[in-house]
């Protein structure tokens, strides 16, 4: 999943500059050294300990760092494309996203090094998983500005990853505000559904199944489709049969023949749908199978579509919470 897409977007300068002037540079894994002319600190990233400006003024962001830093109002001067996040952006963030210079496409291989150099950044934040770093000429980027690479290794890790992005960009205070709003909302919903959700064994069908192989995506706890619902109190049962690295530790791709084995014990099934509510082809393939219609949860009508399961920041995740609330509402009736 990580390899399929890896880039994104951003903006909002004035506030960030102001925040940068008074912001704290301490953060997880970071140490600070002083220099009156240009303060720097050492930041622990996926690509090692990197000396970065304590208060960056011109940040280039790619991949998962794009939505995180847009929402945290970092001083962005260039971003990668992040199309999958567009439906979740607020009007303000979407306008900023569209206005900002695009220095990379959706894939890491589409990085435009000259455009990055022209943006004259003092910090480059690559929000891509470590394996994808191989597609980027990091040394060339390092000749332009300090490079911090921070990407998720498992889907549910977006929480820590987006925090590190904000920390590196010197906008941790903004990040914490957005995070607090999300957590308050999640706690409210957890309370609302505490009488029904904890008793259910849930399964999730993700949208990355490959119909050309006759497979579907089963997501377990800690995956894109499940981790936000877990914050509301949902319990996704089971685990990957043969765990692999990254997202393969929390999701698998069984044959459609294995649908009864995979989801036969579920009391309820959630499934990913597009932002407009339409069912993706890979999920439709599952739902049109007679094996799906034979599942106990399906026969009881206990299936719940969830939009915005690709949320990867605390700024996006409230939309997912709203979608979960809307879908689960009938559990309370």
Partner 1 sequence: MSAADRSLPVAKTRRQVPRAGLLLGGLVLLGAVAVLSIGIGAHSVPPAEVVRALFDYQGTDDHVIVWDVRAPRALLAVAVGAALAVAGALIQILGRNPLAEPGVLGVTAGAGFAITIGSALGLAGGQAGQLVFAIIGSVAAALLVMAVGRQSPLRLVLTGMVLTAVLGGIALGLRMMLPDAFDTYRFWSVGTLAGREQEPLALPLAAIGVSLLGALLLSRPLNALELGESVAQTLGAGVARTRTATVILITVLSGAATAVAGPILFVGLIVPHLVRRPAAGSVPWLTLYSMVLGPVLLLVADIGSRVLLPTGEVPVAIVTAFLGGPMLIWAVRQYGAGTR
Residues that bind partner 1 (CB under 8 A): 4, 105-107, 210-215, 242, 253-258, 260-261, 281, 284-285, 288-291, 294
Least distance (Å) from partner 1 to the CB of residue 153?
20
Closer to partner 1 at the Cβ: 105 or 331?
105
Tokens 């014990």 correspond to what residue? 265
Least distance (Å) from partner 1 to the CB of residue 207?
12
Please list the residues that pair with 33 across neighbouring strands: 40
Element (H, E) at 306: strand 303-306
Closer to partner 1 at the Cβ: 286 or 321?
286
Closer to partner 1 at the Cβ: 183 or 257?
257
Closer to partner 1 at the Cβ: 241 or 330?
241
Least distance (Å) from partner 1 to the CB of residue 129?
18
DSSP 139-177: HHHHTTS-EEE---SSGGGHHHHHHHHHHHTT-HHHHHH
CB 3 within 8 A of CB 131: yes
Which one, of 195, 199, 164, lies nearest residue 179 by Cα? 164
**CA 136, 149, 54, 65 torsion: positive or negative?**
positive
Least distance (Å) from partner 1 to the CB of residue 284?
8
Closer to partner 1 at the Cβ: 217 or 227?
217
Least distance (Å) from partner 1 to the CB of residue 166?
28
Least distance (Å) from partner 1 to the CB of residue 214?
4
Least distance (Å) from partner 1 to the CB of residue 183?
35
Pairing of strands 123-127, 102-104: unpaired
Residue 110 is classified by DSSP as G
Q: How far apart are the first and last CA of the chain?
A: 36
Residues 6+ apart with CB under 8 A from 177: none
Closer to partner 1 at the Cβ: 57 or 274?
274
Rounded distance between C-alpha atoms, residue 143 and residue 251, angstroms: 38
Closer to partner 1 at the Cβ: 143 or 255?
255
**SS3 call for 244:** coil
């Amino acid at each position: 999943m990580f390899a399929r897409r890896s880039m994104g977007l951003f903006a909002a300068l004035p506030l960030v500059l102001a925040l940068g002037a008074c912001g704290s540079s301490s953060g997880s894994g970071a140490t600070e050294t002083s220099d009156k002319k240009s303060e720097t600190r050492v930041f622990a990233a996926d690509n090692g300990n990197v000396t970065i400006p304590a208060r960056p003024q011109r940040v280039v962001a790619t991949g998962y760092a794009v939505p995180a830093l847009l929402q945290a109002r970092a001083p962005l001067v260039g971003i990668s494309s992040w199309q999958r996040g567009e439906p979740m952006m607020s009007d303000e963030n979407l306008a900023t996203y569209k206005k900002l210079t695009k220095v990379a496409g959706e894939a890491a291989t589409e990085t435009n090094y000259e455009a990055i150099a022209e943006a004259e950044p003092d910090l480059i934040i690559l929000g891509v998983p470590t394996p994808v770093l191989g597609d980027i000429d990091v040394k060339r980027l390092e000749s332009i500005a300090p490079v911090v690479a921070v990407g998720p290794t498992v889907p549910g890790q977006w929480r820590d990853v987006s925090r590190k992005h904000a920390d590196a960009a010197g906008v941790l205070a903004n990040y914490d505000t957005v995070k607090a709003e999300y957590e308050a909302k999640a706690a409210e919903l957890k309370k609302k559904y505490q009488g029904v959700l904890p008793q259910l064994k849930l399964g999730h069908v993700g949208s990355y199944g490959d119909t050309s192989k006759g497979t579907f995506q089963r997501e377990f706890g800690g995956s894109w489709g499940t981790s936000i619902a877990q914050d509301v109190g949902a319990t996704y049962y089971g685990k990957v049969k043969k765990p692999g690295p990254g997202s393969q530790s929390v999701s698998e791709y069984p044959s459609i023949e294995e649908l009864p084995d995979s989801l036969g014990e579920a009391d309820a099934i959630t499934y990913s749908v597009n932002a407009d509510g339409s069912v993706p082809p890979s999920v439709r393939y599952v739902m049109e199978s007679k094996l799906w219609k034979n599942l106990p949860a399906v026969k009881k009508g206990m299936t719940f579509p969830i939009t915005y399961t690709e949320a990867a920041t605390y700024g996006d995740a409230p939309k997912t919470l709203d979608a979960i609330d809307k879908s689960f509402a009938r559990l309370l009736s």
